[in-house]
Structure 1
Amino acid sequence: MAVPENPANGQKPAERPLIMRFAARSDVGRIRSKNDDSAYAGRHLAVVADGMGGHAGGDVASAATVLDMIHLDRDDYDGDAGTILADEIQTANSLLSELVHINPKLAGMGTTVTALLLAEGKLHFAHIGDSRAYRLRDGEFEQVSIDHTFVQRLIDEGRLKPEEAETHPHKNVLMRVLGDVDASPELDLDTLDVKPGDRWLLCSDGLNYVAGHAVERTVKETKDLRECVETLVDLTLEAGSPDNVTVVMVEIVEETPDDVSTAAVDVIPSVGAAKPAAAAEAPGAPAGNQSEDDGEPDADSAAEPASERSGSSVVEPASTDPHLGEHLTAEVLREELSSRPHELVGAAASAAETGSIPTIGGRTVARRAATLLTHKAEPAQGDEDETLVPLKPRRWITWSIAGLVLLVLGVGLWLGYAWTQTRYYVGEFDSRVAIYNGVSQRLGPIQLSRLETVTELPMSSLPPFSQQRVRQTVPANDLYDAQRIVKNLELTGTTSPEEGCPTASASAPATPSAPAPTPTDPAASPAAEASASTPASPSPSPTPTVTCEVGQ
């Protein structure tokens, strides 16, 4: 950006880096019993995730994804911020697959992700699913993201009008999401130019129930970010949206000396200031076998608050008490959040506040903190607590057996299909007799035959019996046999459809008898009269038949 020269020394002052002001709000909505949406907004990162998966997994999917990405809210990138953003989303996808592997009840869960990462004067954009990203620049409001839905594909192909999408019965069918359905989902990625004053709106599909012009007017006319998100959510609730709704507003500004004042809100007290001691003293603190485990770190953290930020103070208790893993992971997450201005809403905020962070069995606290939050080097002693190392060979054996079974099954299916392609049959195509290669069966969506030849013989020229046989298909041993069947059908086709297939033609006309003598003929002899009185027997003639052979 252009910076005026300092008249005192003739030099340009140092350029101020760009950061984001932000505000966020999430609401469960009028109908849903739980919030499956999650969102995070900070000075360099904004992300919205809309989870799905029914009663069990929607909130887990969105919370795990958002909490896995919060460590990206920083500015120390070396030209690879876009790549890191995409890789982190793929890592979150792997995390969801591992969670499903540990708990099969979560099978089928997934989440959308729409994220912005501001780094090095550029805005890196990543998107999958039907959450949306809008940009307001110089008075122009536009949707930047593309919905990965079935109806959007129909619109792109020209098979559906945009105004028809809202009433389409499959408008909520997603074509691309994060989850255990795809090991490497396809993301929409882009690097966009940015300038101070740009405003971005990230939202879940719950906001779609508000008219587009109302959303645009609110974003343009409401200058305060907090008021803007509150208004948009209130409009959604007034519209009777049956879904959760989550809204994040960010504005690109120059960084000021007081970073916290540049943000829309300070650190959320319920997340950043929540300490284990406070949780233990609360009236609703969980009791049971975890109370003793939680008591020890509470005392340590209360006695030495300054040492909590060091990596060793968090890792060392985990090596002596494996039951503290989830609690310490939540505490590390809280400290990570407390280190920067941010706003966390939805299922992710609930997980951070309660400590119910989705974790992977076999990962130590140090590994979780290093890989998902602080990216610090992993302590060597952390590997001693790795309990799944002996199970790795078993996993390879399982995958090998599964691969072998799939290979045998695939070879068997291929051989069966190859055999079907040596067979032929006669059937109907476009009201004409046709020859097909294969068998007249289907294996699920796979048709086991293909059209070989369409003859000029119309079905209407065949007798009803032959028409019925052809429609039911007539099997043939090979192509020559199929051609023979067609020739036989052509013979039966010489008979009109009304006559059917006769078993025999009418007898040949009888030989006419000798004419009787005329009564007026006086010369007629008695012998002649006797002969005339006895009718002449017609000479026998063979009765021709028509063979109605179709396939035999």
Structure 2
Amino acid sequence: MVRLKNDDSAYVGRYLAVVADGMGGHAGGNVASASTVLDLVHLDREDHDGEALTVLADEIQAANSLLSELVTTSPQLSGMGTTVTALLLHDSTFALAHIGDSRAYRLKNGVFEQISIDHTFVQRLIDEGRLRPEEAEVHPHKNVLMRVLGDVDASPELDLATFKVEPGERWLLCSDGLTAVLRDSDIESVLRNTKDIQRCVDILVELTLSGGSPDNVTVVVLEIAEAPDDSTLPAEADTARVPIIGSAADPSRVSEPTAVPRSSSQPEDPETGDDEPARAELIRQDLSQRPHVLVGAASLATETGQIPIVTKRSAERRSARLLTHKAAPEVEAPAQTEPAQRRRWLVPAFLALMTVLLAAVLWVGYTWTQTRYYVGASDNNVAIYNGVSQSLGPIRLSSVTETTDIPVDSLPEYQRNRVEGTIPAKDLLHAEQIVEDLRGTARTSSSCAPSAPGTPVQATPSPAPSPSGNAAPQPSASATPSAAASPAADPDNCGGRK
């Protein structure tokens, strides 16, 4: 109801269910979630080389590496990240991998419980006994993430666990758009009392939208069933037995993708007659071979090819594509026939022309760089630069326009890393606004996050009226030790705010 684009992605099939919530406060939240989900869909099969939990964890780590590669090739995506909550079924066991604040719930033998643990700043305060669960709902930093996939951490810490499953039990995966509006008791009531899982999803999404839906909402509901004898099933039975996924991303609430005009250098695909990326077509063919549901940014990726397309087929990882750098398929240039005789003046004239063109291109390029601005560090102070941060041999393409009185060391670690890596700005006014945002962050950094890696988080809970009773912390399903992790933050916060 509020977001201009959908940063959520989700997939569910016979053996795999995954929800990813891209960090909407950064450029490329939809890129991060779509890339991650599409890189995991090949796991939706019965057989795996190795233990399912290890396979799932390894593939998520590989997806994280791909996000880092995307940022390396496309700096404008710097700071993007995504949560991931995934279930992989093998025999009668679910492997769970989780990072971020998307959630996994289970209804089994009449018991409804939250299985995943939020990797947020307020949850850490709750775990340390410094904040009550009811106070977390109104805490000013309740959306600050401490762990996500992205270019922040080369090896993010995942929560991993396995669960024995039985026919009849239900699982629910969701992005935090659902839990931002509905309480756990409301979610439990719908999951318990709604027999049809498609209707269950519809009700949860409708309740979220009617509550204002401050964020994208994606809901997966799946139910465990005994696998019938395939020989007794009609051909269409598989489709009817697919776990159901629902999302607020229906056509009435999603803006149309921006059209990318075709360049004369972009040849049409000889088979389809258009310039749609071949990788998107390969993904569609792969997905068509098994029953599934795909929604959100990942669905848009397969339909348009206008955001990164990532998949893995026969152990080959496919490269990503960017909306702003849409490349055409490589086509071999036709062979040119050399003239029988070349005039003596042709080569010198050609070289002279190339020299003039090169000089013109260099001059135009240099002139363009002087219209750009970015925020970086100068003598340990935040400064505004005119130009671009790169150099052309011994020639620097930027100069300091303004040096502020904001020490780089006073910024939170994430903001400090961004400044040291340079923050691009659209113009001087935008650069000054970035500086003001950093100034505000520097003033409040001591109350938001550690001042140096490894320093415990210190924060004072916001006052709230004392309730009649204290809610007990949710049981942890994490199978990995807790460790301090680098908070993923946006320009408006000390941690990663979605």
Task: State if a TM-score over 0.5 links the two structures.
Answer: yes
Task: Provide the alpha-carbon RMSD of the alignment.
Answer: 2.9
Residues 353 and 291 (structure 1), Cα distance of their counterparts in 2 relative to 1, 3 Å cut: farther
Deviation at 1:264, TM superposition (A): 4.8
**Alpha-carbon distance in structure 2 between the residues aligned to 1:100 and 1:89:** 17
**Structure 2 counterpart of 1:371:** 316
Do the aligned residues in 2 keep the contact of 1:233 with 1:245 (CA within 8 Å)? yes
Paired residue type of 2:291: P
From 217, 233, 241, give the equivalent of 1:262. 241
**Structure 2 counterpart of 1:274:** none
From 193, 213, 219, give the equivalent of 1:241. 213
Residue-by-residue CA offset, 1:378-415 (whole Å, 9 max, x unaligned): xxxxxxx9xxxxxxxxxxxxxxxxxxxxxxxxxxxxxx
**Alpha-carbon distance in structure 1 between the residues aligned to 2:138 and 2:94:** 35
Residue pairs, 1:317-328, within 5 angstroms: 327-328=277-278
Secondary structure at 1:289's aligned position in 2? coil
Secondary structure at 2:6's aligned position in 1? coil
**Structure 1 counterpart of 2:364:** none
Residues 250 and 219 (structure 1), Cα distance of their counterparts in 2 relative to 1, 3 Å cut: same
Residue-by-residue CA offset, 1:1-44 (whole Å, 9 max, x unaligned): xxxxxxxxxxxxxxxxxxxxxxxxxxxxx111111000000000
Deviation at 1:241, TM superposition (A): 2.3
Paired residue type of 1:166: E
Residue-by-residue CA offset, 1:167-215 (whole Å, 9 max, x unaligned): 0011000000000000000000011111111100000001111122111
From 19, 23, 42, give the equivalent of 1:71. 42
From 213, 226, 233, give the equivalent of 2:185. 213
**Structure 1 counterpart of 2:69:** 98
Secondary structure at 1:253's aligned position in 2? coil
Paired residue type of 1:329: R
Larger relative contact order (CA 8 Å, sep ≥ 6): 2
**Alpha-carbon distance in structure 2 between the residues aligned to 1:292 and 1:67:** 25
Paired residue type of 2:219: V
Deviation at 1:259, TM superposition (A): 2.5
Residue pairs, 1:285-434, within 5 angstroms: 287-289=261-263, 293-298=267-272, 327-358=277-308, 370-372=315-317
Residue-by-residue CA offset, 1:112-161 (whole Å, 9 max, x unaligned): 00000001221000000000000000111100000000000000000000
Residues 118 and 36 (structure 1), Cα distance of their counterparts in 2 relative to 1, 3 Å cut: same
**Alpha-carbon distance in structure 2 between the residues aligned to 1:174 and 1:77:** 32
1:167 is aligned to 2:138: yes
Paired residue type of 1:111: T
Residue pairs, 1:19-38, within 5 angstroms: 30-38=1-9
Do the aligned residues in 1 keep the contact of 2:26 with 2:80 (CA within 8 Å)? no
Structure 1, unaligned runs of 5 or more = 1-29, 267-283, 302-323, 374-384, 386-441, 447-552
**Alpha-carbon distance in structure 2 between the residues aligned to 1:246 and 1:101:** 29
Secondary structure at 2:186's aligned position in 1? helix
**Alpha-carbon distance in structure 2 between the residues aligned to 1:368 and 1:263:** 22
Do the aligned residues in 2 keep the contact of 1:118 with 1:124 (CA within 8 Å)? yes
From 245, 252, 265, give the equivalent of 2:224. 252
1:185 is aligned to 2:164: no
Paired residue type of 2:100: G
Paired residue type of 1:112: T
Deviation at 1:261, TM superposition (A): 2.7
Secondary structure at 2:39's aligned position in 1? helix
- TM-score w.r.t. the length of structure 2 is 0.57
Residues 348 and 355 (structure 1), Cα distance of their counterparts in 2 relative to 1, 3 Å cut: same
- TM-score w.r.t. the length of structure 1 is 0.52
Residues 334 and 291 (structure 1), Cα distance of their counterparts in 2 relative to 1, 3 Å cut: farther
Structure 2, unaligned runs of 5 or more = 231-236, 246-257, 319-329, 331-407, 413-498
Deviation at 1:55, TM superposition (A): 5.6
Paired residue type of 1:293: P
Q: How many residue pairs end up in the alignment? A: 306
Deviation at 1:327, TM superposition (A): 1.1
Do the aligned residues in 1 keep the contact of 2:12 with 2:243 (CA within 8 Å)? no
- Which of structure 1's runs of 4+ aligned residues deviate more than 6 A? none
Deviation at 1:297, TM superposition (A): 3.0
Residues 101 and 52 (structure 1), Cα distance of their counterparts in 2 relative to 1, 3 Å cut: same
Do the aligned residues in 2 keep the contact of 1:71 with 1:372 (CA within 8 Å)? no
Secondary structure at 2:204's aligned position in 1? helix
Secondary structure at 2:95's aligned position in 1? strand
1:223 is aligned to 2:202: no
**Structure 1 counterpart of 2:96:** 125
Q: Percent identity?
A: 62
Residue pairs, 1:505-516, within 5 angstroms: none
Residues 359 and 229 (structure 1), Cα distance of their counterparts in 2 relative to 1, 3 Å cut: closer
